[in-house]
Amino acid sequence: MRWSKSFISTLKEVPEKAESVSHRLMLRSGLIRMLFSGAYSYLPLGLKVLRNIEQIVREEMDACGAQELLLPGLQPQDLWVKSGRDEQMGQTMIRFVDRRGRKICLGPTHEEVITDVVKNQVRSYKQLPVILYQIQTKYRDELRPRFGVMRACEFIMKDAYSFDIDDKGLDKNYQLMLEAYKKIFSRCGLSFLTTEADCGVMGGKESCEFMVPASSGEDVILHCSKCNLTKIKEEGLEKCPQCKGALEEQTVIEVGHVFKLGTKYSKVSNAVFTGADGKIKPIVMGCYGIGVSRLIAAIIEQNNDNDGIIWPKEVSPYDLLVAPLNITDSKTKEVAEKIYKELSIEFNVLLDDRDERPGMKFKDADLIGIPLRVIIGEKNLKAGKVELVKRQNKETSFVEYDTAVSCIKKELLG
């Protein structure tokens, strides 16, 4: 992609009312624009990051044997009344009556719907276990939307559901999802903690949260650096109940939550199967959620400096930024075009072909945070070299321009 043809619009000034680091940088770097409080448009750079995260999620879910589907955003309220969660959700749920007089809601989550789907498909123990997942938009009327996409009224979530014949099968799939989540968050470049949590309105007998330490986090946990125990903050608790070590308060962002639902939804919905013994039994369920759009904010919160975003390799909107300092110089333009075209065959490359001052190009490059930058200037070209700059630590090196492509390939694949 050529910058001059792209829809990249960076901001010099810090936007008003942007409270968190991630919110400010997402707006300044042109990832998102606010339509109204709690609802955001993803511009091309932001959508690229979102799609990269989705791809990581899909790869790890598919590796677990999970199958992707897509459920409706529109849901009949009677499913929620039947499960008892209609009242529990309260005003958070967005409800309306359609022209036929049907009571409808915009899906804040999909436990009721997926149970309804499975109960009409599964009849025998031979069809179990199965894990289904989707990546889809959810809707919640948040009382106080804040921190940009971190707490929004419309957000993108990956929700997976396991269906088993017994608790033993549930335990196996629950552990499978825990390990998959660790891989997902690691690939996204995140440092994270896990903690046992309250099941809340989701229900079930056991749950675990994945938390990302960040200064703009909404939750507070207690962490023991000695034995690595993590707990939701409890008043008066100063010593680790496991090793008696000191507990440290940390603000965190919840990015994932997994639940052992058991038969909470299957019993209500009559989602049953015939066992090997011929008896009718309720399906045993698990639920596994990741805030996909929230992950963008969490990644930025942990990967930034005073100049802008520092994207981890796998989620970056581009692999490489090629920056000719003087696009009107014929030799500079020739070398930049050669590197851009040859590397674009294998990699996602952004060419900054704007006729702008080098200082502006450097500031924009730092702001949008592409991991590797190739700077092509007249002075270095006279010495037969181009400059490589790593965004993470600003480490600089020089390579011969006639072997630059092969050197950059090694760097990108390393």
Kindly state whether residues 60 and 203 are assigned to the same domain: yes
Kindly state whether residues 21 and 107 are assigned to the same domain: yes
Per-residue pLDDT of the chain (414 residues), as tens digits, is: 999 999 999 998 888 788 899 999 999 999 999 999 999 999 999 999 999 999 999 999 999 999 999 999 999 999 999 999 999 999 999 999 999 999 999 999 999 999 999 999 999 999 999 999 999 999 999 999 999 999 999 999 999 999 999 999 999 999 999 999 999 999 999 999 998 876 565 666 788 999 999 988 888 888 888 888 788 777 778 788 888 888 888 999 999 999 999 999 999 999 999 999 999 999 999 999 999 999 999 999 999 999 999 999 999 999 999 999 999 999 999 999 999 999 999 999 999 999 999 999 999 999 999 999 999 999 999 999 999 999 999 999 999 988 999 999 999 997
Looking at the structure of the chain, the number of domains it has is 2
Residue 227 lies in a domain: no
The boundaries of the domain holding residue 16 are 3-222+248-305
- CATH number reported for the structural domain that contains residue 334 in this entry: 3.40.50.800
Q: What is the pLDDT of residue 402?
A: 87
Q: What is the pLDDT of residue 203?
A: 61
Kindly state whether residues 350 and 201 are assigned to the same domain: no
Q: What is the pLDDT of residue 200?
A: 63
Kindly state whether residues 98 and 46 are assigned to the same domain: yes
Kindly state whether residues 338 and 276 are assigned to the same domain: no
Q: What is the pLDDT of residue 157?
A: 98
Kindly state whether residues 18 and 152 are assigned to the same domain: yes
Kindly state whether residues 139 and 20 are assigned to the same domain: yes
Kindly state whether residues 394 and 277 are assigned to the same domain: no
Kindly state whether residues 349 and 295 are assigned to the same domain: no
Kindly state whether residues 292 and 344 are assigned to the same domain: no
Residue 153 lies in a domain: yes
Kindly state whether residues 47 and 145 are assigned to the same domain: yes
Residue 233 lies in a domain: no
Residue 235 lies in a domain: no
Q: What is the pLDDT of residue 241?
A: 84
Q: What is the pLDDT of residue 204?
A: 64
SS (H, E, C) the chain: CEHHHCCCCCCCCCCCCCCCHHHHHHHHCCCEEEEECCEEEECHHHHHHHHHHHHHHHHHHHHCCCEECCCCCEEEHHHHHHHCHHHHHHHHCEEEECCCCCEEEECCCCHHHHHHHHHCCCCEHHHCCEEEEEEEEEECCCCCCECHHHECCEEEEEEEEEEECCHHHHHHHHHHHHHHHHHHHHHCCCCCEEEECCCHHHCCCEEEEEEEECCCCCEEEEECCCCCCEEECCCCCCECCCCCCECEEEEEEEEEEEEEEECHHHHHHCCEEECCCCCEEECEEEEEEEEHHHHHHHHHHHCEECCEECCCCCCCCCCEEEEECCCCCHHHHHHHHHHHHHHHCCCCEEECCCCCCHHHHHHHHHHHCCCEEEEECHHHHHCCEEEEEECCCCCEEEEEHHHHHHHHHHHHHC
